[in-house]
Structure 1
Amino acid sequence: MCAKRFQSGSGPSQRQLRVAEVIRHRLAEVLSRGEVHDPDLSRMSITVSEVRTSADLQHATVFVMPLGGRDADIALKALRRNKGELRHLVAAGMRLRFAPDLKFELDKTFDAMDNARRMFADPRVKADVEAPDDPEAAGDTDPDSDLDRDLDRGDAV
């Protein structure tokens, strides 16, 4: 029964998801209130978009992005510099045996969404997306498609 947890390809457990969400909320609260006394962090608004925890809940990867995406390197350095204090503040609001070790990474999903948005704004892609799916409406005169349609209806011999 325990072996199921260690199968490859399985996603995070419910406990991992709950703990990750509590860490995310607590970090967002700590950063928004300015509980960390760091001049770089106090002048930035940082979004904590996602937290992923290890199976043993001892490590947590925190995905962050400063508001507007500006000064991302400065924000990341400041978070890493204050990792111990942030870990202590997060652990204070949780009931876990161990406070998870925090690893901060920049969130790349915002960049991926911008790239997808730009791609769908391209006129060639718009024309391709808006093209009708029905081959007859597109002017397809393939004789095999007529035979297939007749076979589907049971009209062909």
Structure 2
Amino acid sequence: MDPTLYEPKEAARVLGVSPATLRRLAVLVEEVLHPLPRDAGGGRLWPEGVLGLLAEARRQAKEEGIPLREALLRAKEALGEGGASPLPPSVPLQTSTQEEALALLRALLERLERVEGELSALRAENAALRESLKALEAPRPRRPWWAFWRR
């Protein structure tokens, strides 16, 4: 693993927050900055630059009494003026991965078409059952329970 990328547990320890707080911060960071890179299992990885930027934004938010979102936006603007992005560039899909994704999409399309066919057949059957229900005669009204004593 790249030494500049931290797993969530390590990133939480570096920032001095709980893993739950780090998850909430991750949502904010991904909204304001850029999506965080993911590992093979889909878990977030924290670049060292993002951790530094987040720590600075948290310090600034605490000192100035501003929301963390605003502090992150300020840090992003300051970074845009004269610095490189703290996030690594996104890696495009490789050809084999694209072919696998295309095969998965085709299989998904086939299943979707089959399910839509089944759904239309069920709708037709439902409509036929409703029509046959209308043809049945209505049940006779029942006697009230107290009519037993009125013989």
TM (norm. structure 1) is 0.28
Task: Say which structure is richer in strand.
Answer: 1
Task: Say which structure is richer in helix.
Answer: 2
TM (norm. structure 2) is 0.29
Bigger radius of gyration, 1 or 2?
2
